[in-house]
Structures are given as C-alpha cells and as structure tokens.
Amino acid sequence: MSQYVIGVDYGTDSVRSILVNATSGEEIAASVFYYPRWTQQLYCNATDNQFRQHPLDYVEGLEQTIKACLEKAGPAITANVKGISVDTTGSTPVAVDATGTPLALLPEFKENPNAMFVLWKDHTSVQEAAEINTHATKFPVNYLQYVGGIYSSEWFWAKLLHVLREDEAVRNKIASWVEHCDWIPFVLTGGNDVTKMKRGVCSAGHKALWAEAFNGFPPNEFFATLDPLLDGFTNKLFTETYTSAQQAGTISPEWAQRLGLPNDVVIGVGAFDAHMGAVGGQIEPYHLSKVMGTSTCDMLVAPVADINDRCVNGICGQVDGSIIPGMIGLEAGQSAFGDIYAWFKSVLDWPAKNLLQNSAVIDAATAEKLQQEMSDKLIAELSKQAAALTISEDAELAVDWMNGRRTPDANQLLEGAITNINLGSSAPRIFHALVEATCFGAKSIVDRFIDEGIPVKGLIGLGGVAKKSPFIMQMMADVMNMPIRIHKSEQTCALGAAMFAATAAGIYNKVEEAMEVMGQGFDAEYQPNPAKVAFYQTRYNKYKQLGAFIEEQTKA
C-alpha cells in the first residue's frame, strides 16, 4: 500500500504545502496561501528595513494549505499520510512565553511588531551585528568561526538583542527566542512547554552560534559582556539539537482533528527552506545548489573527513548535519536576487500604476486590465530585449547589494549601484546590467569556496527564477564558466520537506534513500558559451573594482 507525506514550505510571501506519494515521489496535491497581513505590508517599514510577520499568517496558512491538499486527495489517501515536515525562511525568530506561544498571540501584544516574527530580510539590527563582530575579537576563541567569521544582522542573536533593547514590554515577558522552523513542529505536536521544544541543528548552527566544538553556545561571558540584557539568556534556550531526519513528535489530537489526519502522523524536526530545498533538488557533494527566489541561498555538502578543521571564511556557516545528516552543510547566498528584478519592475510600473487610473482616454476597468497586462509581460520582454543587445566592456554596470551583502563577507550596510549610465541607456540595457550583477554576485560566492579550498564541480538551479528565466540561467552559466542543471520540481523546498517527512516517519532509513526514490530529476541544462566567458570575466573584474569602491565609500 502506498504511503504519503506532506511537505510544508514557508516562503517570504506565502506558504505552500504538497502531498506526495513517498513510494514514488508523485505529487498528489498542492496548495498555496498568501499571507494576508504580509500582503498589506502590516508591521513593516521598508525605509527602516523593518519586516515583521504575524504568527496568525503562519497558522492560518498551515491549516488551509494542508486541508486543501487533503480535500483534493480524498479520504483513502488521507488515511495513509505518515509524516509532515516543515521548512521556513531564516533566520526568522520570535519572542515566546513559557508555553512557547509567540507574544503577538497574546492580547496585550497583538499589534506589537517586536512581538512578531522578525523576518530574515529585516535589517533593523545592523548596529547589534556590528557590535557582535567587534566583541568577538576580544576572545581567544573565535566564536564566529563556524558562521564564516562575520555575524549578520539577518541572524538570531543580533535580532534578539535589538528587540530586547527596543521594547521593555517584550523584554519583561520573553521566556525564549525561537526560530520559525522550530516553532511550527512544536505547534503541530501540541507543545505547551518551550523547554521541551526540539530545536534543529540547521537553525542553531547556521544562525545561533551553536557548535559541538563549544559544547553548545559560546559561554555566558561572551553574551553578558556584550550586553547585560543577554546575561544568562542561553539558559532560556536549549542544550540539544536534532537533524531533520529525526522526529519532533507525533501530531497532537487537536491538530489531527483540525486537519482530518490520523493520530499517528509523525512530525519531523524543521529546518530552513534552502537546506531542505537542496535535498529536494537532489544535491550532490561539491555541487552548489542555488535556491533562487527573492534572495538566493547557496548550499554545498561535503564529507566530514574532507573538511576536518577547515573553516570557510565569509560564508553563512558550516554545520554537521544541517543539510544531509553525516555530512557538513555549507551555506552562502545573496541578500537580493529576484528582489532586484522586482524592484526594477516596480520602478518601470510606476507610470502605469499611478497615471492610467486617471486616464481621460480609457475607462477605469480597461486601465486596470491594461496595467496588469503590462506588468505581467514586463520581465519577459525585458529579458528578450536584453538578450538581443550587443554589450561592450564599458556598458552599464551594476552592483547587486540593493539589500546589503550576505556573502562573501556579510555587510548589510552596503547598498547597490548602477554606473556608466548615459543618454543611450535604456530599460533593457539597465536590466542587462542588473542581471549581470546578480550573476557576478553568485560568482563571487563560488570564487570564495574555491579560494578556501572547497571545490565547486557544478551548479544546480532551484526555485522560480531558475525555472522561469532561460536568459538569466544562460548568463549564469557564461559568467560562472560551468554548467547549471535546472531541477524539474517547481517546489523543491516543499519536496525536500516531504523527503525528510518520509525519513522521520521511518519509510526510509536515510534521507539519501528518499532523495533517490522521490527525486524528480532535471529538465534543463545550460552550458557556458565559450565565446562569452572571457568577456564576462573582464566585466566581472570591473564589477569587483566597483564593489570595492562602494564598500570603501560606505566605510568612510
């Protein structure tokens, strides 16, 4: 009899669930839920880089997407669901009380952004991250060595310190600080004691400075001398971590009834989206798995024996078991990728959005349809026109730090730039420069791995941009001078979560076995064009020069 599992993938804008046949990998049903409060940009202030998400968006999406999948599948399949696993964005932590309830779910905090999940892209804690980096140099042990040597404002401790400093009410109520990927399994298992929440090694190792070499966290002295507000805070956290192949528990009676599932459904330990996405995309040792969406997360796995005591500088961390248990998972990425194209599209959309509705030529309904049609076609047409351009070495050039730089060498104070603009600069030419910049940013990550002694043998493309834009993927291959395979699945993160659900539920002994059976394979491959490789290398050198100038000006 076939057995089924559910993978739940929490993205920046929406949550999607898929119901998968664990014995064949066939996707039976899928459902997407767009966060209603986030859609309205409630609790956000882009000018201040504040991006918060309400836990109700997450809970409502969890229930609605899983129930929609089960309704499509029917009762026979529902009765044979064996496991659920979850991935989320990260670092996206929240303040909780002693029961593990996010403070925003309490009446007195329901409209307080500091009581909500601090989304990965929230950069309000730039100052705190800078203090952590300076502070770490005062200790004989480098407590940042497993996170690339630089702590980011996108991560766990910087966000915690910022919230504690800013909000006395939250500071007085907080019992622990919890990642989104750890909270959802806790909810599904009916957890009501935060001290019993199972925390994943993925989030703990990559964002929270947890390492076996430190026997857990850095010592209390490290945090207490950084700020007295952190004195003793590790006692509010955890001492053990778990891989995503392990169980967080079984579904609670309440959630089993709420979703219409059997009472014995296993809930797996959670992880970040890109880590599970790499598994869903059938990652291989030394092949860089690039999850390309609003930002990128670049994942690489290597045997433990190959890494030994080597620490790769400037990346987002290296953690034993964070991707595949028994292997070192290495993470890097770009703070903005698809977000850059979306920003440029928004700039070009401005006249249509703001002027068409007041047109004296067409009625309002037609104006709205016309605006939507133009918006829907914009990126595809820009890609077509940009691909046809003849670009010189001195053409428009951009740096991709519109949302700061994640890797190599995190610095969220950096900003993007576009240069070499003249009266002949057109929208397709500027778009070409922006695409180049995102590809150059990707190349700088590969170069860092190689410079640090970690070979990169090939690229695996995952996510919406990889599937939808041949223009961008061909340029990626040309810039990198290596092939890039595009995974067939539209939902590699959710599929990876489903693979871990099948492993946690005991259908497979190892996640590698689940990958082999449930993997969907690849449906495209882009080879580098030898005629363009040298040209892009020259342009890449100019990109690095421009980036160095921008960084120097930022420091000044």
What confidence tens digit (pLDDT) does each residue in 229-265 have?
A: 999 999 999 999 999 999 999 999 999 999 999 999 9
**pLDDT class of 309 with cuts at 50, 70, 90:** confident
Q: Could you give the CA distance from residue 146 to residue 523 in angstroms, rounded to a whole number?
A: 35
What confidence tens digit (pLDDT) does each residue in 435-488 have?
A: 999 999 999 999 999 999 999 999 999 988 999 999 999 999 999 999 999 999
Q: Could you give the CA distance from residue 356 to residue 364 in angstroms, rounded to a whole number?
A: 8
**pLDDT class of 308 with cuts at 50, 70, 90:** confident
What confidence tens digit (pLDDT) does each residue in 488-546 have?
A: 998 999 999 999 999 999 999 999 999 999 999 999 999 999 999 999 999 999 999 99
Q: Please, what are the domains in the chain?
A: 4-281+490-520 (3.30.420.40), 338-455+466-475+523-555 (3.30.420.40)
Partners of residue 287 on adjacent β-strands: 458
Q: What is the mean pLDDT of residues 154-172?
A: 98
Among the residue ranges 278-282, 420-424, 463-467, 539-543, the one predicted with the least confidence is: 463-467
Going by C-beta distance under 8 Å and a sequence separation of 6 or more, which residues neighbour residue 530?
none
Q: Read off the pTM.
A: 0.90
**pLDDT class of 405 with cuts at 50, 70, 90:** very high
Per-residue model confidence (pLDDT) at position 477: 98
**pLDDT class of 380 with cuts at 50, 70, 90:** very high
**pLDDT class of 294 with cuts at 50, 70, 90:** confident
Q: Residue 8: pLDDT above 90?
A: yes
Mean pLDDT value across the chain: 96
The answer to whether residues 17 and 43 touch, using CB atoms and an 8 Å cutoff, is: no
Per-residue model confidence (pLDDT) at position 440: 98
**pLDDT class of 412 with cuts at 50, 70, 90:** confident
Instruction: Give buried/exposed letters for 342-366 (b at 16+ CB in 10 A, else e).
Output: eebeeebeeebeeebeeeeeeeeee
- Closest among 514, 416, 482, 379 to 82, alpha carbons compared: 514
Ramachandran bin of 463, using left for φ above 0, alpha for ψ from -120 to 50, beta for the remaining angles: left
Lookup result for tokens 């990128």? 296
- Closest among 294, 271, 299, 555 to 445, alpha carbons compared: 299
Proportion of the chain above pLDDT 70, given as a percent: 100
DSSP assignment of 408-425, as one string?
SS-BTT---EEE---TT-
**pLDDT class of 358 with cuts at 50, 70, 90:** confident
Q: In degrees to the nearest 10, what's the CA dihedral of 416, 422, 424, 430?
A: 0
The answer to whether residues 316 and 144 touch, using CB atoms and an 8 Å cutoff, is: no
* φ, ψ at 10 (rounded to 5°): -90, 110
